[in-house]
Chain A
Amino acid sequence: AQSVAQPEDQVNVAEGNPLTVKCTYSVSGNPYLFWYVQYPNRGLQFLLKYITGDNLVKGSYGFEAEFNKSQTSFHLKKPSALVSDSALYFCAVRDQGFKTIFGAGTRLFVKA
């Protein structure tokens, strides 16, 4: 069965510093991997996805993620964090069908 793990409940970074939000996955076959962001009292918004090809995927708002097949990881990164990046981030995996499974979420707190 496919699954996604986000080992950190919360990540704290100072504004201007690089940030990393971790994600590992377990899936049979080729994974389709996603990152979504949720701001307070809002629905989830798509950030980026990995299907195939280049292991470094660039997405919205300056975010990028690195796919690592040997470590089954798909960590979200940003070179320089903004206070406005503070939100709840979800990693997700989708199989060849229609089911998208989400991780438990990681709360990112960026301090000014």
Chain B
Amino acid sequence: EVQLVESGGGLVQPGGSLRLSCVASGFTFSRDWMTWVRQAPGQGLEWVANIKPDGSEKYYVDSVKGRFTISRDNAKSSLYLQVNSLTAEDTAVYYCAREAAVAFDIWGHGTMVTVSS
């Protein structure tokens, strides 16, 4: 079964950090671009970052540059998002997704990040 499973979310204080993880199964993870998309409560989707199959290229939305780092471990079929210097505006469900032709065809169930004191 093709599947993405995220973990690592939780409640964190402003200025804090988390490491989000996403484990893939059912497809050849090492061949695909991967993406993080987030959705604030009651709001729309926002693309956050993506990474090339070999990890050599990474791109970020302006609002997270310098604070978030996307990475991957193809041997473990895993995608990561290190999120630092968190603010209330980062509160959202974070989804990992497989990217093909700039479209996201496989999504995880999401992991919730809540930034609050």
Is this pair of chains taken from one and the same complex? no
